[in-house]
Amino acid sequence: ATFDLPMTRADIADFLGLTIETVSRQLTRLRTDGVIRIENNRHVTIDSLGRLERRSGA
């Protein structure tokens, strides 16, 4: 699955009531673990929906 993220990290943090550092840390962790890829700071590719689901606790 791929999509263009319409929000900045600051927007996401504000929407979720988190700090931008927390959002950045979690996105970096997902990238490092190979769950997602982010290109041009906006284009997100989810390599495994199953892995993302397991990470979300769903």
15-37 confidence digits (pLDDT tens): 999 999 999 999 999 999 999 99
Residue 58 reports pLDDT greater than 80: no
Q: Domains in the chain and their CATH numbers? A: 2-56 (1.10.10.10)
CA dihedral of residues 56, 51, 15, 19 (deg, nearest 10): 90
Question: Which residue type sits at 34?
Answer: G
For 25, what's the count of Cα atoms within 13 Å in the CB-facing half-sphere? 5
Q: Is the pTM of this model over 0.85?
A: no
- What would the mean pLDDT of 1-9 be, rounded to a whole number? 94
SS3 content of the chain, % helix, strand, coil (to 5): 50, 20, 30
